[in-house]
Every structure is written in structure tokens, then in C-alpha cells.
Amino acid sequence: MSWDWEFALEVLPELLSAFLRVTLVVTVVGSVTAAVLGLVWAIGLRSLPPVPARALTWVLDFIRMTPLPVQLLFLYYAVPALSPLQVGIIIIGIHYSTYMAESYRAGIESIPKGQWEAATALSLPTARTWRAVILPQALRATIPSLGNWAIAMFKDTPFLIFIAAPEMVSIARNIGGNTFRYVEPFTIAGLIFLAASYPTAILMRKLENRLAY
């Protein structure tokens, strides 16, 4: 099938609209949700007593090892009051928070033991120890990894097709089904993904180099 520039330009606005209204929103809000929850999980794993910490570890492992489409479909049918967009944000945010928790945990565990001991010797409250001593150092080593997870999250938004969310790939499929031309819409969708993710990857690489120590 030959490439039709006129048709490609005709469908471009619809694909861009789907990208901005759904794909980008799910990625940005989901990334913020995952970053906040991941930090909560990581601190909990470090601070909770052994039994609750093991229970939390089991829950996070279960979420991380369960396929994302299954989680999307479960919440979509279990809570029909939620819109596909809301389901996508909630599930993708929670799912990737388990991966970000591991990144946070690695950053926290990289803090030398002497830092903890110094905070204890100075009688710093636990909250201040985390806020002023541990987290600034851990986040410095963790931010590049979090950016990589955000990019991975962005590329997983096509899974929203399972819950009929009008994201970019599902719109491209609908266009192809209605016109019997699939090359243009899917090529444009792929180029939009590339145009959005590549600069982010470059930014994360520069940030990693700047934060290196």
C-alpha cells in the first residue's frame, strides 16, 4: 500500500488530539502518582515492623508480577463508575509505583550506614532524618531511574485499548478499520510516541550526568 500524504495530514489532528487528551494525561498524572506512592512504599518497607513490611512486600510483588492488562480490566469491570481514563491513571500509577519503589529502595540503601548513625547521634527526629539527611541523597541517585520508568509508562499507554479508552493507538486502529488504511495512522502514532519520548530520554541522560557524583 502506497503512502498517502493527503490522508496522513487528514488524520493527524485526530491522533494528536487523542495523544494530548488521553495518552499524555495518563502518562503525566500516572507518573506523579507512581512517584509519590513509590516513595511511600519504599519508606514503609524500611520503617515498618517485620510482619507489616513482609505483607507490603507481598502486595507489591503481586502487583508488579500481574500483567497490566489484567489489572486494567479488573478495575474497569469491578468499579463501573470509573471512566476508562480514570481507570488508566489509577492502575498505571499504582502498577508503576511498585517499580519506582524498588528504585527508591536502592537509592535509600545506597546511603552509607554512617549517615544513619550520625543522625541518631545528633538525636534527629525520624521525620527530619528522612527529610534532611536520607531523601536528598537517595533522590539524587534515583531521579534518572524514575525518568526511565516514566518513559516505560508512556509506552505502555496503548494497553488502555483493552478498556476502550480513546488513546492514540486505539484511535489509529479505528481509523484503519473505517478506511482500510492502517499504514498512515499507525506510522503517525509511532512517530508521535518517538517525538515525545526521545527528548525525554535525552533530558534524563543529561540529568543523570549532572547529578552524578
How long is the chain? Answer: 213
| pLDDT (tens digit per residue) in 119-136 | 777 777 877 788 777 877
Q: How many domains does one find in the chain?
A: 1
For 113-135, letters b (16+ CB in 10 Å) and e give: eeeeeebeeeeeeeeebbeebbb
Whole-model pTM: value is 0.86
Counts for the chain of helices (H) and strands (E), in that order:
10, 0
CATH code for the domain of 135? 1.10.3720.10
How confident is the model over 85-91, as a mean pLDDT? 95
Checking if the pLDDT of 11 tops 80, the result is yes
* Domain range for 18: 5-211
Checking if the pLDDT of 178 tops 80, the result is yes
Checking if the pLDDT of 78 tops 90, the result is yes
**Whole-number pLDDT of residue 150:** 87
Amino acid at 76: Y
